[in-house]
A and B are shown apart, each in its own frame.
Chain A
Amino acid sequence: MATPVHAADDSLAKVQQKGTLVMGTSPDYAPYEFLVNQHGKNVVVGMDVEIAKKIAKDIGVKLVIKQMDFDSLLVGLQTGKVDMVLSAMTPTDERRQSVDFSKIYYKGGQDIVVNKADAKVYKNHQSFVDKKVGAQTGSLQADLVKKQMPESSLLGLTKVTDLILALKSHKVEGVVMEEAVASAYVQNDNQLALIPGKFDLGSDENGTAIGFAKGSTSLVNAANRSIDAIQKQKLLPQYLKQAGRYMQTNTTNTSMFHYWRFFAKGIGYTLLITAISVLIGVVLGVFLALMRLGKVKVLHALAVAYIEFVRGTPLMIQVMFVYFGIGIFIDIPALIAGIIAVSLNSGAYVAEIIRGGIESIPVGQTEAARSLGLSQRLTMQTVVLPQALRNIWPALGNEFISLIKESSIVSIIGVTDLIYQLKVVQTATYKGVQPIIVAMVIYFVLTFGLSKLLGHYERKMKHDEGTN
Chain B
Amino acid sequence: MTKALIEIKHLVKKFGDNVVLNDISETINQGDVIVVIGASGGGKSTFLRSLNLLNQPTSGEIDFEGTDLTSLSEKQLDQVREKMGMVFQQFNLFPNMTVLENIKLAPMKVKQADDAAATAKAQALLKQVGLEEKADAYPSSLSGGQMQRVAIARALAMEPDVMLFDEPTSALDPEMVGEVLKVMQDLAKSGMTMIVVTHEMGFAREVADQVWFMDAGVIAEKGTPEEIFTAPKEARTKDFLSKVLAQ
Residues of A with Cβ closer than 8 Å to B?
Answer: 362, 364-365, 367-376, 378, 382-383, 386-387, 390, 465-468
A–B Cβ pairs within 8 angstroms, 10 of them:
A364-B92, A368-B151, A369-B94, A369-B106, A371-B54, A372-B82, A373-B81, A373-B82, A390-B96, A467-B140
Q: Give the residue among A373, A390, A466 with the most B Cβ atoms within 10 A.
A: A373
If the complex has contacts A368-B86, A378-B109, A467-B140, are A373 and B54 also in contact, measured as CB distance less than 8 A? no
Given pairs A373-B158, A387-B96, 4 additional interface contacts (CB within 8 A):
A372-B110, A373-B110, A382-B109, A387-B94
Residues of B with Cβ closer than 8 Å to A?
Answer: 52, 54, 74-75, 78-79, 81-86, 88, 90, 92-96, 105-106, 109-110, 137-138, 140-141, 151, 154-155, 158, 164
Q: Which residues of B contact A371 (CB under 8 A)?
A: 52, 54, 81, 84-86, 155, 164
Complex Cα spacing A370 to B88, Å: 12
Complex Cα spacing A378 to B81, Å: 14
If the complex has contacts A374-B106, A374-B109, A375-B75, are A368 and B81 also in contact, measured as CB distance less than 8 A? no
Complex Cα spacing A370 to B49, Å: 12
Residue contact B140 to A370, C-beta cutoff 8 Å: no
Residue contact A365 to B92, C-beta cutoff 8 Å: yes
Mostly, the B contact residues are mixed
Complex Cα spacing A466 to B138, Å: 7
Q: Which residues of A contact B75 (CB under 8 A)?
A: 375
Residue contact A367 to B94, C-beta cutoff 8 Å: no
Residue contact B92 to A372, C-beta cutoff 8 Å: no
Q: Which residues of B contact A466 (CB under 8 A)?
A: 137-138, 140-141
Complex Cα spacing A467 to B141, Å: 8
If the complex has contacts A368-B86, A372-B106, A372-B158, are A383 and B52 also in contact, measured as CB distance less than 8 A? no
Residue contact B95 to A387, C-beta cutoff 8 Å: yes
Residue contact A378 to B94, C-beta cutoff 8 Å: no
**Neighbour of B94 across the interface among A368, A370, A376, A467, CB < 8 A:** A368
**Neighbour of B90 across the interface among A364, A369, A378, A387, CB < 8 A:** A364
Complex Cα spacing A181 to B137, Å: 73
Instruction: Give 6 nearest A-B pairs by CB, closest first.
Output: A373-B82, A368-B92, A371-B86, A372-B106, A364-B92, A466-B138
Q: Which residues of A contact B140 (CB under 8 A)?
A: 465-468
Residue contact B96 to A386, C-beta cutoff 8 Å: yes
Complex Cα spacing A374 to B137, Å: 23
**Neighbour of B154 across the interface among A372, A375, A376, A467, CB < 8 A:** A372
Q: Give the residue among B81, B137, B151, B155 with the most A Cβ atoms within 10 A.
A: B81
Q: Which residues of A contact B138 (CB under 8 A)?
A: 465-466, 468
Expressed in whole angstroms, the minimum distance between the Cβ of A358 and any Cβ of chain B is 14
Complex Cα spacing A372 to B154, Å: 8
Q: Which residues of B contact A364 (CB under 8 A)?
A: 88, 90, 92
Expressed in whole angstroms, the minimum distance between the Cβ of A375 and any Cβ of chain B is 5
Q: Which residues of A contact B93 (CB under 8 A)?
A: 368
Q: Which residues of A contact B106 (CB under 8 A)?
A: 369, 372-374
Mostly, the A contact residues are helix
Q: Which residues of A contact B92 (CB under 8 A)?
A: 362, 364-365, 367-368
Closest to A468 in B: B140
Residue contact B110 to A374, C-beta cutoff 8 Å: yes
Residue contact A370 to B105, C-beta cutoff 8 Å: no
Complex Cα spacing A467 to B138, Å: 9
If the complex has contacts A371-B86, A466-B138, are A376 and B74 also in contact, measured as CB distance less than 8 A? yes
Expressed in whole angstroms, the minimum distance between the Cβ of A357 and any Cβ of chain B is 13
Q: Which residues of B contact A370 (CB under 8 A)?
A: 54, 78, 81
Expressed in whole angstroms, the minimum distance between the Cβ of A462 and any Cβ of chain B is 10
If the complex has contacts A372-B81, A374-B110, are A367 and B88 also in contact, measured as CB distance less than 8 A? yes
Complex Cα spacing A374 to B164, Å: 17
Residue contact B94 to A374, C-beta cutoff 8 Å: no
Q: Which residues of A contact B154 (CB under 8 A)?
A: 372
Complex Cα spacing A329 to B245, Å: 79
Expressed in whole angstroms, the minimum distance between the Cβ of B139 and any Cβ of chain A is 8
Q: Which residues of B contact A365 (CB under 8 A)?
A: 92, 94
Q: Which residues of B contact A386 (CB under 8 A)?
A: 96
Expressed in whole angstroms, the minimum distance between the Cβ of A382 and any Cβ of chain B is 6
Complex Cα spacing A383 to B95, Å: 9
Q: Give the residue among A365, A371, A382, A466 with the most B Cβ atoms within 10 A.
A: A371
Q: Give the residue among A365, A367, A368, A466 with the most B Cβ atoms within 10 A.
A: A368
Complex Cα spacing A173 to B123, Å: 83
**Neighbour of A372 across the interface among B95, B105, B137, B141, CB < 8 A:** B105
Complex Cα spacing A188 to B178, Å: 89
Complex Cα spacing A465 to B140, Å: 9
Expressed in whole angstroms, the minimum distance between the Cβ of B40 and any Cβ of chain A is 18
Closest to B95 in A: A468
Expressed in whole angstroms, the minimum distance between the Cβ of B10 and any Cβ of chain A is 24
Q: Which residues of A contact B81 (CB under 8 A)?
A: 370-373
Expressed in whole angstroms, the minimum distance between the Cβ of A372 and any Cβ of chain B is 4
Complex Cα spacing A378 to B75, Å: 12
Expressed in whole angstroms, the minimum distance between the Cβ of A369 and any Cβ of chain B is 8
Q: Which residues of A contact B85 (CB under 8 A)?
A: 371-372
Complex Cα spacing A371 to B87, Å: 9
Q: Which residues of B contact A376 (CB under 8 A)?
A: 74
Complex Cα spacing A386 to B102, Å: 14
Complex Cα spacing A95 to B52, Å: 71
Residue contact A375 to B95, C-beta cutoff 8 Å: no
Q: Give the residue among A370, A387, A467 with the most B Cβ atoms within 10 A.
A: A370
Q: Which residues of A contact B137 (CB under 8 A)?
A: 466
Complex Cα spacing A365 to B93, Å: 7
Expressed in whole angstroms, the minimum distance between the Cβ of A465 and any Cβ of chain B is 6
Q: Which residues of A contact B86 (CB under 8 A)?
A: 367-368, 371
Complex Cα spacing A375 to B140, Å: 26
Expressed in whole angstroms, the minimum distance between the Cβ of B55 and any Cβ of chain A is 10
Complex Cα spacing A163 to B140, Å: 61
Expressed in whole angstroms, the minimum distance between the Cβ of B160 and any Cβ of chain A is 9
If the complex has contacts A370-B81, A387-B96, are A378 and B88 also in contact, measured as CB distance less than 8 A? no
Q: Which residues of A contact B74 (CB under 8 A)?
A: 375-376
Complex Cα spacing A466 to B134, Å: 14
Expressed in whole angstroms, the minimum distance between the Cβ of A373 and any Cβ of chain B is 3
Expressed in whole angstroms, the minimum distance between the Cβ of A273 and any Cβ of chain B is 32
Complex Cα spacing A230 to B88, Å: 88
Expressed in whole angstroms, the minimum distance between the Cβ of B81 and any Cβ of chain A is 5
Closest to B80 in A: A373
Expressed in whole angstroms, the minimum distance between the Cβ of B148 and any Cβ of chain A is 12
Q: Which residues of B contact A465 (CB under 8 A)?
A: 95-96, 138, 140
